[in-house]
Structure 1
């Protein structure tokens, strides 16, 4: 893109939109592009903007009328070809005063913005020379017509090793300078940075990490200000002294999981997370009980998983009456946090299959993928963030949808080398890879009701999984 700009400075290139979690450097990347192109940089925050007149300006008949923020920004930088960053474009609102996103349709369209008309100026103004870059945390809230006018560039979160390198090369030196210290007065070890990353911050980017490093630097600056001349080296022991007890306790792989528990992976705006899905039998009950603040899509995934296993029970060594005559309670921990999305389908299917068959899910395995009633596994998003979270938790086997195989290339090579990545096209592929061998089947939860030979009911002592 920059090469085209260099070869054809007067051309109308695409409008870029950087999409990624907070703190991954979207704004910093825009500043670097401006420096490399030799252009002035102007940042405009769109978060919370609800009035279209803030962009187009007010007519001069109004008291206190002024030009729109686009024209004001150009007046501040003093040139007509700056790099203008439209920050938080996904946080735009709308009300009775108009829809700012509709005004952006003209501003970001190279075919129209050469005659942009500000209401205050009441003259056409050429915006075609302005290099617009937008940023967003999520594409969902951006209207489709506006999204079509931009070229989307996804910026993923960082791995722990990438955060370590960023901290050593950029964050620590910057905080040392800003707090009036020198390298001879302040040093922080790699182990301390890794502890900050895992136990004192929880993010896909490095903003909180820089804040934590700055906090440490200020503590050291206080010692220097009162007369201390010794060099302070921050190690793991000093972290707790300066910052207190760890704030976060990341999920880690369980050494052993009972039947009915499976490990899944989730994506959030803060990066990836590992979650455990737990299923237990309700002897003599009926239906499916779901808890953990699950959204509608996630509830439907659980229903689809149970229906699929019911209709294919014999294929997986499950006694159909164990499903028919017993209810199931499915819970996703961290109940205070709302959860939704289709990507937990394969995890729910594995947890239910484990419960019904008595075969444990391997504790070193995590999975993600959407399922259908016909047993297909569909692709999902956020693969890099999910896999990095699983790796941090100590997971070493990952099950992904077959159609997400291309996303594996985005995972850092050092992480990829430590993982066994399995792709699955059908639910049966997932269960074959996730469940322990049939010879290790446990006794099902007490109280599973199965029919007697004479038609009555009796508790099952064991559900023997069929050999595959």
Structure 2
């Protein structure tokens, strides 16, 4: 038997599925007539955006059913007029929103912090990577329930930085007298895979050079010890998650360009500025702000340049 994998739905696709299929189905199953209840588009968008987080629409249907049950009870208690399902009805039934739509805006970015993208069984998600440095001799500390492959990505990123310390203007003695701590929040959730390599690298370079990561930028890609950026999977799911979280700029491997244009809907691509990179230097140039300490305002990252595409 051949297994066919399907990508996640966009927000607009979920809205149309809800309007055309899920809402009529729940109205019928709850013994209501279309003339008795009206699901407003804005309410369905808020339900999809703030009350569910999934690749499909299973939870969307459950929440629509919850709204229909409350409406059915109201009619059973004597209501005669039509019920408009608006924002107030939504919040009174389902409670306060469970998910923030703009996660990126609500996070204060500082040197040493970067945003990565991850694939999960329920779609894509954003990862906030935090780093810190302190005096000590333990070397590298990694926390956040990371799997072996992701831990190796952190180690490889740090080794790349140490081997290029002079170019990054980092004192080589720093690594002998200091500790570096890498943490990925949501410690109760297991995380693994090589695709966070580029995020780990950017976060560590940001920490050790004092240069902040550009606002609203997220990234994914595996990085080798020689500084090459390798392709990763789950591009569509990751980019949908990025757009949902409020990201406006992306850094992804050049070898994923084909996946990007084939899998990601144009309506999503038009909202993002995407930079395709082949090397770690290109990724750093795209992700980090210019160093204020540099005489010409440009970081010393070689002569390569990334290619941007709207």
Tell me, yes or no, whether TM beats 0.5. Answer: yes
Higher relative contact order (Cα pairs below 8 Å, separated by 6+ residues): 2
Aligned positions of 1:177-326 closer than 5 A = 177-249=28-100, 252-254=103-105, 256-326=108-178
Q: Deviations over 1:122-181 (max 9, x none)?
A: xxxxxxxxxxxxxxxxxxxxxxxxxxxxxxxx2001111111111111111111111111
Q: How does 1:43-122 map to 2 (within 5 A)?
A: none
- The answer to whether the 8 Å contact 1:263/1:363 transfers is no
Aligned position for 2:306: none
Instruction: Tell me the CA shift for residue 466 of structure 1.
Output: 5.2
Question: Higher Cα Rg: structure 1 or 2?
Answer: 1
Shift of 1:16: 3.6
CA 1:278–1:251 in 2, change beyond 3 Å: closer, same or farther? farther
Q: Which of 216, 219, 228 pairs up with 1:367?
A: 219
| 1:371-410 alignment runs, 5 A limit | 371-409=223-261, 410=263
Where in structure 1 are there 5+ consecutive unaligned residues? 1-14, 19-153, 442-463
Cα distance in 1 for residues equivalent to 2:45 and 2:100: 14
Structure 2 match to 1:416: 269
Q: By how many angstroms is 1:284 displaced?
A: 3.3
Q: SS of the counterpart of 2:9?
A: coil
| CA displacement at 1:202 relative to structure 2 | 1.6
Deviation at 1:467, TM superposition (A): 4.4
Structure 2 length-normalised TM: 0.91
Match of 2:3 in 1: 17
Give yes or no for contact 2:223–2:230 (8 Å, CA) kept in 1: yes
- Contact kept? 1:317, 1:465, Cα under 8 Å: no
Extract unaligned runs of 5+ from structure 2: 302-310
SS of 1:438 mapped into structure 2: coil
The DSSP-based 3-state class of the residue aligned with 1:421 is: strand
> Which secondary structure state, in structure 1, belongs to the residue aligned with residue 170 of structure 2?
coil
CA RMSD, Structure 1 to Structure 2 (Å): 1.8
Measured against aligned partners, the alpha-carbon deviations of 1:323-353 in whole angstroms (never above 9, x if no partner) come to 3431100000000001000000000000000
Q: Find the counterpart in structure 2 of residue 64 from structure 1.
A: none
- Is the Cα contact below 8 Å between 2:101 and 2:246 reproduced in 1? no
CA distance in 2, matches of 1:465, 1:413: 33
Distance 1:419 1:289 in 2: 34
| TM-score with structure 1 setting the length | 0.61
Contact 1:317–1:466 (8 Å) recurs in 2: no
The answer as to whether partners of 1:371 and 1:378 remain within 8 angstroms in 2 is: yes
Q: Secondary structure at the match of 2:128?
A: strand
* 2:280 corresponds to 1:427: yes
Please list the CA deviations of residues 283-313 of structure 1 after superposition, one character each: whole Å capped at 9, or x if unmatched: 2334100000000000000000000011012
Number of aligned positions between the proteins = 297
Does structure 2 conserve the Cα–Cα contact (< 8 Å) formed by 1:316 and 1:465? no
Kindly state the Cα deviation for residue 440 of structure 1 after the two structures are TM-superposed. 6.9
